[in-house]
Structure 1
């Protein structure tokens, strides 16, 4: 009661934030006449002036009113759109590093240009993050008109983009990209070997569109670049044949936690049948350590069968299992489940089983986006997750008021006893709305349910469109038609994220269709005719009640329901939304609908009747809040574990970058060598020990193996005055002399290149091994809780020890590799050149024979593997190395016996001898 009274008197915290921006908005509006007088060149000149003032010490905040006024004028000229005051407010909140919650249709795309323009004046680059590649390209193309009018450059990042084009896009002032591509490029950059190959120059400021989808929904899924492991397809197929033979007494399924556990009876049955099929050796139990791999495969197989449903969690398309995003309903091309789960689903569906993957690099979206100095976000639904945004990212959420009052009517939920009753009522309601010309958007939670409802509408002779992952190519067209008079559109959650459903249909799409049908017609006349007709169509739809959003189920997240509801009632348009539920729905069933069913039965509820009451809405929201809380806990726990790895990741990636930027790392390798010498001497000549206690034989062998020197250590123990420090000094002197001789033989520049490549390659190898070890550690550390020990603390302690082991191993491996490197002998060089010439001749003959087919293939475009975006991903070609085409012949002054004539090619550049091979595989080869 007192809280309500205080809010009335003082306003809510959100109201106070909105009020604080009004003086800034008034300043921007007051500057509008001044900027209207400027010509196009004057707007660009203003940008240059802002940059000078910024360099002179002014702050971005002081420039904000003028910069926003300049940007508004540019948008007005380039797009014909004048930003509303609420869009300026949203832009201010983005610049301040907050999340602006704006309802659908309020113009978030245009709003983002204000904060992007202001921050791009720093010259450090701004990233605008979208949820899919279509929106990234569309928004970049659309808003480039605004940025171009201001003298700034715009780029877009998309999958399988040519390297040169990607580098150019990242160098732009404003870069549009999906969260997946940004994350993968970050990982790829930290797998490259030369600074010139890096694309991401800075992590300064990012504006995340649909911020709740990216930073909340997808935060549980780490991005992983991985390479193929051993093929185990036969094992997956053999295990898969067992699962259909199991009965319900053998296992229990927990839908809340999405886990399957075997009963004692199930374990006995599995042991017996696995042994009978030769998958488990006789006398070996499932609990033996040797059984870990088989048990893991059985667990994944049972999960694939019992927890992953075809046409809900995935679809099979062209012989490939394609995952479906549970939040958007879109196909996730290239994304694969990790830990063998995807392979288990492939075995279940009897399609080709692709090899498992070994992690090469990984990062979570949580830790990737926390790299940015400043982060802003925008979405239509963020308030329900405000506490998580603040706790994880330090982002506040501000509800920006709508430009016009919302006129949509939101009905209370209607709950039926059975799914059949619910769907009968839905079909009836759709028929009534269609009859009066009201467009209907029907929201479903899976492909299977959308297609089932489609069959019901077909039987009722109701014309409709279906939008799900099977029709994702037609998404833009279907969404454009969804607001037409009498249209009925069945859609999964993908419906319209990032695109508006406009009453009467989308004018631009209508114009494109008309021009395509009449290519000889006058485009301007066609547009004028269609715009006139559209005005009448729009009014007819408004008279019919606007867009009617009819949801067939509640999602486990309130935000997803609010997103669907928000499709209707944009920019003050009329609209309606209803949720039709049944006690057989997943959410109702999992959260105790049995008791409600008994109550409704005892009340004598008739078939076809629905219970409609605000209390039901409240009850459902509480159930949804429980699920959201549980998911938050999962994400928070994931982050705690990933933070341990993230600290180590930062150290490794920073070290790699430092090495790539350094021209001379001989000091680093010398320090590593001296530390290895210290360790060897401490092992074989322990401190505070006498010379006759030293293991000089072991030290001698270690010097040959690790240091590449034949040191006379056997005699040093007989000399007077030779202590441990003297042994270290002598070994350091000997190794320094050997390395100096190698440098003289190779040349200083070549030796520096060898050191750098060895160090980078060894870091990458050790890091990959470390990631795998951490994965294994994480999978078993949970059992420590049975011993009353905190798994997280155990993980931290052991991960730290493993990281120290990584660094020790790194020093030893680099020192050993450099000790073994030597120039090729003349005989080896001649043999290699002979082999290369033979290979080149064979390649030329093959190219000549295949010239015509190859030209045809080039014209069509070579097939490219999809770039993954989730739990497990194959590295695209060129991730770790750049590729280059072979030159027609050797460099004019090239002399294979004189390295000074070879120029300074990069390790991955074509060899100047003209062989067509990379330099590192040809004359730059290290043996």
Structure 2
């Protein structure tokens, strides 16, 4: 109560932020007359002037008013568009590293030019992240005219470019691309063997368009680069025949968490079927030797019970293609992991692709946190403000609209059955068409859009359908959705990026209708006719009430509903929205519609009647909030586990880069060899052990196996007064002499090239195996909860031990290979590591169903723990970017990797 009173008197925090922005806008507006008086060349020269000011020590904030005034004038001259004051405010918010929530139609694409130009002047590179290739190409070409006019270069990253084209695009001052392309390029770069082959340069600043879609919706699914593994297609096909023979009582299904498991009866039935098929030859299903059968049976069960064709995926061109649940788009090239995709392929009878092994992966959370500065814009972010703040450290600022919103949002109508609901929608569509009002109907799946389409066909209502099946015509369909009486059915309007303009989209109509007209006079005549027609149609639509948005059911996220609503009422246009629901809808069914159905029957609700009340809206909003909170926990949980791997990933990628950057790595190889020898001697000769307790036979054998040396360690051990330190020194000296002899024999250049090549290849192989082990550990770690242990803490502990083991094994493998290697090569440049064949990039939506943990256990000191000797300053004072083989800045005299940079 007191908070509400205080907000009325002093305003909200958002109101105070907006007032502060208005003061900066006044400064920019004051510059407009003087900038408008400049010639084109003088305006273009301001880019060099601003760059010089930065070089002299001024900050980006210092030059912001001049930069924004420059861009505004350039946009007026090049595009014929002048930034509104609210757009200037949005640009300031983006530059500050925050999220600007701007309504649909407020011109977010144009807003981005302001902070992009400002941050690109310094030539460190700016990334603009979009949700699909179409928008990346459109925006880079459209807004690129402004940047090119001002002397800046623009690149665009889309699917299908080769490495040279990608590198050129990243070298540009401004680069447009999709979140997937940026993430996969980062992973691929860290699998390269030469710095010159890497396409990305150091990160500087990124602006994420549709930031909620990318940083929240897609953040449940990590990016994965994988390579071919073993082929088990026959087993998938065989096990797939088992599941249809099960009854519903043979398994427990929980739709809220998308989980399913066999009951005791179901397990016995599956065991018997597998025995009859000859697949289960000994023991029970859960015996250790049958672990592969359990895995295949579980994935087949998930494929049949949790995943629906035309909702979660479609079958096209002999392939199972995943449907993005938030945008309704086909996710070409992405596959579910852990054999689930193969199980779906077996279920649908298409060709089963080979299973893949993870070579590199990263979540969007950890990828975007690599940028020193990050910002974003969207029409719907306030509902997820807590998540943006907690995960990314991004504040959300709600921007005022340039013109007040005129849209009317009606209360939801709830029907008992889906049939009644669709009939009511058809009636409303007919009413709107009769008065020339365009209608946009939003559905949550392809299946439901086609059910509604069939109903409208039976009623002879012409309409267009936009879903994953008709993805190619997306921009054309949307551009004409605002014409009088137009009916458009669209699956999930989230992130479409194309405005629905009342009367129709002029640019799109000109591009389509005048494509074959070459005569300039004829083009001009036809253009004038189309312009006049659109102006007339716009007035008709306005009189009819603007675009009417109909939602066929509530989505589990309020943002998706708000995005659908936001398609209507852009830039002060009139409009309306209404959601039609039934007790058959997924959200209603999962959250207790049985009780409501009984209550409605007792109240005497007849067929075709609806219940309409604002209380229902509030109850549905609470249900959506529950789902949103659950999904946040899933994303947070995924991030907790990936943070463990992320610390390890940073160490591995940093070391790879240092290895590639170093002219030679003889010192690193020598350190690894010495550490291996030290471990060997410690193992055979424990500290403070008597001579008769020494295991000299084992030491002799290990030296022979690892170092390829036959040393007289037995004789050394018999010498009076000899200690383990002396034996270690002699082994080290002998190994060093052997490697020095090899270098002299083959030539230093050839030896150095061989060392670098082998170390990179062996490091990659070790990391790949480590990722596979982490995948296996992650799959079963939740079972530790049955033993009253925190799965996350168990995962951290074991992953850390596995990482230490990987590093130890890598040191030994590198030492062994170099001890045995023989080279017959004249040119060191011929020694080139070969890239992995058959690499596939994908996003893994299956991991989105990971169980969310209730306990938020703190991370330990970190996978990379910097241990400071007692005599020097704290680790916080040491720059973590110090090269690992350089002397430690603390002054201890040790190498950084043995001091503050030591892997504990």
Fold match (TM-score > 0.5): yes
Q: Is the 8 A contact 1:684 1:695 kept in 2?
A: yes
Instruction: Quote the residue 1:481 is aligned against.
Output: 480
- Change beyond 3 A, Cα 1:265–1:719: same
Do residues 159 (structure 1) and 159 (structure 2) align? yes
C-alpha separation in 2, matches of 1:203 and 1:759: 27
* Aligned-pair CA distance for 1:691: 4.1
Instruction: Quote the residue 2:842 is aligned against.
Output: 868
Instruction: Quote the residue 2:883 is aligned against.
Output: none
Q: Is the 8 A contact 1:160 1:867 kept in 2?
A: no
C-alpha separation in 2, matches of 1:586 and 1:823: 65
* Aligned-pair CA distance for 1:255: 0.8
* Aligned-pair CA distance for 1:721: 4.1
Instruction: Quote the residue 1:104 is aligned against.
Output: 104
* Aligned-pair CA distance for 1:526: 2.8
Alignment of 1:598-637 (within 5 A): 598-637=598-637
Instruction: Quote the residue 2:893 is aligned against.
Output: none
Instruction: Quote the residue 1:759 is aligned against.
Output: 759
- Change beyond 3 A, Cα 1:123–1:521: closer
Q: Is the 8 A contact 1:418 1:583 kept in 2?
A: yes
* Aligned-pair CA distance for 1:218: 0.8
C-alpha separation in 1, matches of 2:94 and 2:421: 42
Give secondary structure in 1 for the equivalent of 2:207: strand
Instruction: Quote the residue 2:641 is aligned against.
Output: 641
Instruction: Quote the residue 1:511 is aligned against.
Output: 510
Alignment of 1:457-472 (within 5 A): 457-472=456-471
C-alpha separation in 2, matches of 1:642 and 1:162: 29
Q: Is the 8 A contact 1:468 1:494 kept in 2?
A: no
Instruction: Quote the residue 2:790 is aligned against.
Output: 790
Do residues 566 (structure 1) and 540 (structure 2) align? no
C-alpha separation in 1, matches of 2:444 and 2:163: 38
* Aligned-pair CA distance for 1:825: 8.9
Q: Is the 8 A contact 1:224 1:871 kept in 2?
A: no
* Aligned-pair CA distance for 1:792: 1.0
Per-residue CA deviations over 1:667-726 (Å, capped at 9, x if unaligned) read 111000111111111222333334454333332322222112232323222333432111
- Change beyond 3 A, Cα 1:516–1:45: closer
Q: Is the 8 A contact 1:14 1:399 kept in 2?
A: yes
C-alpha separation in 1, matches of 2:28 and 2:363: 39
Give secondary structure in 2 for the equivalent of 1:794: helix
Give secondary structure in 1 for the equivalent of 2:349: coil
* Aligned-pair CA distance for 1:766: 0.9
Q: Is the 8 A contact 1:673 1:815 kept in 2?
A: yes
Q: Is the 8 A contact 2:493 2:563 kept in 1?
A: no
Tell me how large the CA RMSD over aligned residues is: 1.7
Instruction: Quote the residue 2:580 is aligned against.
Output: 580
Give secondary structure in 2 for the equivalent of 1:611: coil
Q: Is the 8 A contact 2:333 2:841 kept in 1?
A: yes
Give secondary structure in 1 for the equivalent of 2:625: helix
- Change beyond 3 A, Cα 1:667–1:656: same
Which consecutive residues of structure 2, in runs of 5 or more, have no partner in the other structure? 831-837, 848-904
C-alpha separation in 1, matches of 2:245 and 2:191: 46
C-alpha separation in 1, matches of 2:206 and 2:749: 40
* Aligned-pair CA distance for 1:180: 0.5
Do residues 736 (structure 1) and 736 (structure 2) align? yes
Alignment of 1:670-709 (within 5 A): 670-709=670-709
Q: Is the 8 A contact 2:101 2:381 kept in 1?
A: yes
Q: Is the 8 A contact 1:44 1:150 kept in 2?
A: yes
Q: Is the 8 A contact 1:311 1:448 kept in 2?
A: yes
Q: Is the 8 A contact 1:160 1:866 kept in 2?
A: no
Instruction: Quote the residue 1:365 is aligned against.
Output: 364
Give secondary structure in 2 for the equivalent of 1:868: strand
Q: Is the 8 A contact 1:140 1:155 kept in 2?
A: yes
Do residues 492 (structure 1) and 466 (structure 2) align? no
Alignment of 1:915-926 (within 5 A): none
Instruction: Quote the residue 1:89 is aligned against.
Output: 89
- Change beyond 3 A, Cα 1:872–1:783: closer
Per-residue CA deviations over 1:718-744 (Å, capped at 9, x if unaligned) read 333432111111122212222112212
Q: Give the TM-score normalised by structure 2.
A: 0.91
Give secondary structure in 1 for the equivalent of 2:286: coil
Q: Is the 8 A contact 2:494 2:563 kept in 1?
A: no
Give secondary structure in 2 for the equivalent of 1:466: strand
Alignment of 1:838-917 (within 5 A): 867-871=841-845
* Aligned-pair CA distance for 1:568: 0.6
Instruction: Quote the residue 1:32 is aligned against.
Output: 32
Q: Is the 8 A contact 1:224 1:872 kept in 2?
A: no
Q: Is the 8 A contact 2:227 2:839 kept in 1?
A: no
C-alpha separation in 1, matches of 2:532 and 2:711: 93
Which consecutive residues of structure 1, in runs of 5 or more, have no partner in the other structure? 834-863, 874-927
C-alpha separation in 1, matches of 2:519 and 2:70: 40
Q: Is the 8 A contact 1:43 1:149 kept in 2?
A: no
Instruction: Quote the residue 1:253 is aligned against.
Output: 253
C-alpha separation in 2, matches of 1:793 and 1:706: 35
C-alpha separation in 1, matches of 2:258 and 2:846: 19
C-alpha separation in 2, matches of 1:42 and 1:604: 76
* Aligned-pair CA distance for 1:868: 3.0
Instruction: Quote the residue 1:356 is aligned against.
Output: 355
C-alpha separation in 2, matches of 1:754 and 1:531: 69
Alignment of 1:291-310 (within 5 A): 291-310=290-309
Q: Is the 8 A contact 2:131 2:495 kept in 1?
A: no
Per-residue CA deviations over 1:50-99 (Å, capped at 9, x if unaligned) read 11111211111111111111111111111111000111111111111110
Instruction: Quote the residue 1:409 is aligned against.
Output: 408
Instruction: Quote the residue 1:341 is aligned against.
Output: 340
Which region of structure 1 is more displaced relative to structure 2, 302-311 or 272-281?
272-281
C-alpha separation in 2, matches of 1:136 and 1:337: 26
C-alpha separation in 2, matches of 1:476 and 1:602: 48
Instruction: Quote the residue 1:278 is aligned against.
Output: 278
Do residues 57 (structure 1) and 31 (structure 2) align? no
Alignment of 1:3-152 (within 5 A): 3-152=3-152
* Aligned-pair CA distance for 1:789: 1.4
* Aligned-pair CA distance for 1:442: 0.6
* Aligned-pair CA distance for 1:291: 2.2
C-alpha separation in 2, matches of 1:771 and 1:872: 17
Instruction: Quote the residue 2:330 is aligned against.
Output: 331
C-alpha separation in 2, matches of 1:633 and 1:541: 44
Q: Is the 8 A contact 1:187 1:225 kept in 2?
A: yes
* Aligned-pair CA distance for 1:307: 0.9
C-alpha separation in 2, matches of 1:593 and 1:335: 35
Which region of structure 1 is more displaced relative to structure 2, 397-406 or 270-279?
270-279
Which region of structure 1 is more displaced relative to structure 2, 336-345 or 117-126?
117-126
Give secondary structure in 1 for the equivalent of 2:508: helix
Give secondary structure in 1 for the equivalent of 2:669: helix
Which region of structure 1 is more displaced relative to structure 2, 255-264 or 516-525?
516-525
